[in-house]
Amino acid sequence: MEKIKWGIIGCGDVTEVKSGPAFSLIEGSELVAVMRRDAGKAKDYAKRHKVLKWYSNADDLINDSEVNAIYVATPPNVHAEMAIKAIKARKPVYVEKPMALNYKECQEMIQASDKYQTPLFVAYYRRALPGFLKVKELVDSGVIGKVKFATIQLFKSLSNKEQEGDLPWRVDPKIAGGGHFFDLASHQLDYFNFLLGAVEKVDAVALNQTNTYKAEDIVSATFTMPNNVILSGKWCFTVPEFLESDVMEIVGSKGAIKFSCFGFNPVELITANEIETFEYEKPMHVQQPFIKLVVDELLGRKNLEMNANSAAQTNWVMDEVVKGFYK
């Protein structure tokens, strides 16, 4: 390929700022077509983002000869279907996270990618953001010594719409795979895979405390990582607003690192003598650094470390966490 010409399947909210504009801001990359089932919204998106083509049928976009790579930005329940269709058309796929509705579907996507020798990438873009790369640099440097354990704490309140009964698809397990845990914790779990290696064992409890929706709304889990490192997490999506929290911490034999997943707070390096902070601004298009890595690989410029197998591992971990809840 001389230039990556992208088509988006599902040009909804996530593509407005986080990802969509980035495809045309990277050298060797251009967004040439978009698709949404609502034709009016697809046309409006194309007009506002200066995209020449728009469709209301995914097959039409996939079969567009000008489009040579596909970004699947639909809800997870159709990730596998759309990705496999694009892969069969021999068009590389960049798919939103979580990779699919469940681990089984992830495996089907990987099998198709292998069979048709067509690349498959998943949008775990924190792996390319400066603050998260700084955390990895600090861990790898040994400045906090040998990692002993790590913790995740994510507490969020019910949205006004949720309180009113106007529920988003993200809390419908048939569409999202689970609740907000699948949407948000997937980023955190993938990052710790990147940082510490793949989870080896899962012990977890997932419950619904408020009956606001059918999905789990509170999770407590412990993960056994390589080198006898313990990762533990607590997620609750029904706390009072003043108790909201987004903190991740890595504790080693010589110090600790504290940072956030979604707030882009400064990274704190805590050692015996001082607390050092590192500040990184949130990019306007937060997926752009990762999309650039995808484009670079497709153009043969660089090999991207992350692959679909590690993204599928995150789905396996989440399936293990909630299996008792959905049995």
- Locus of tokens 């861990």: 139
Average pLDDT over the chain reads 97
pLDDT reading at 188 higher than 90: yes
Q: Percent of the chain at pLDDT above 70?
A: 99
pLDDT reading at 1 higher than 80: no
Question: Fold for domain 130-282?
Answer: Dihydrodipicolinate Reductase; domain 2 (3.30.360)
Within 10 Å of residue 292's Cβ, how many Cβ atoms? 19
Tokens describing residue 126:
């924190």
CA angle 283, 13, 299 (to 5 degrees): 55
Q: Where in the chain is the domain with CATH 3.40.50.720?
A: 4-123+287-304
Q: Report cis status (omega within 30 of 0) of the bond before 226.
A: no
Q: What SS3 state is found at 75?
A: coil
Q: What SS3 state is found at 140?
A: helix
| Amino acid letter, residue 82 | M
The one-character DSSP state at 220 is E
Burial 178-190 (b: 16+ CB within 10 A, else e): bbbbbbbbbbbbb
CB of 317 closer than 8 Å to CB of 223: yes
Residue in 108, 116, 60 with CA at minimum distance from that of residue 81: 108
pLDDT value of residue 327: 81
Q: Tell me the CATH number of domain 4-123+287-304, given options 3.30.365.10, 1.10.645.10, 3.90.850.10, 3.40.50.720.
A: 3.40.50.720
pLDDT reading at 260 higher than 70: yes
Tokens describing residue 176:
């999202």
- What is the Cα 6 distance to its own chain's centre? 19
The residue-averaged pLDDT of 185-209 equals 98
pLDDT reading at 305 higher than 90: no
Angle between helices 186-196 and 130-141 (to 10 degrees): 30
The C-alpha atoms of residue 22 and residue 34 are separated, in whole angstroms, by: 14
Find the distance separating the first CA and the last CA of the chain, reported in whole Å: 46
The residue-averaged pLDDT of 304-311 equals 84
- Locus of tokens 């792996």: 127
Q: For residue range 221-258, what is the model confidence (pLDDT) as tens digits?
A: 999 999 999 999 999 999 999 999 999 999 999 999 99
Q: For residue range 82-125, what is the model confidence (pLDDT) as tens digits?
A: 999 999 999 999 999 999 999 999 999 999 999 999 999 999 99
pLDDT value of residue 306: 65
Let me know if 41 is exposed, middle or buried by CB neighbors in 10 A (0-12, 13-18, 19+). Answer: middle
pLDDT reading at 203 higher than 70: yes
The residue-averaged pLDDT of 152-174 equals 97
pLDDT value of residue 301: 86
pLDDT reading at 279 higher than 90: yes
Q: Where in the chain is the domain with CATH 3.30.360.10?
A: 130-282
> Which helix (H) or strand (E) is 232 found in, with range?
strand 230-236
| Amino acid letter, residue 310 | S
> Which helix (H) or strand (E) is 141 found in, with range?
helix 130-141
The C-alpha atoms of residue 316 and residue 194 are separated, in whole angstroms, by: 15
* Alpha helices (runs of H) in 147-301, residue ranges in sequence order: 160-163, 173-176, 180, 186-196, 288-298
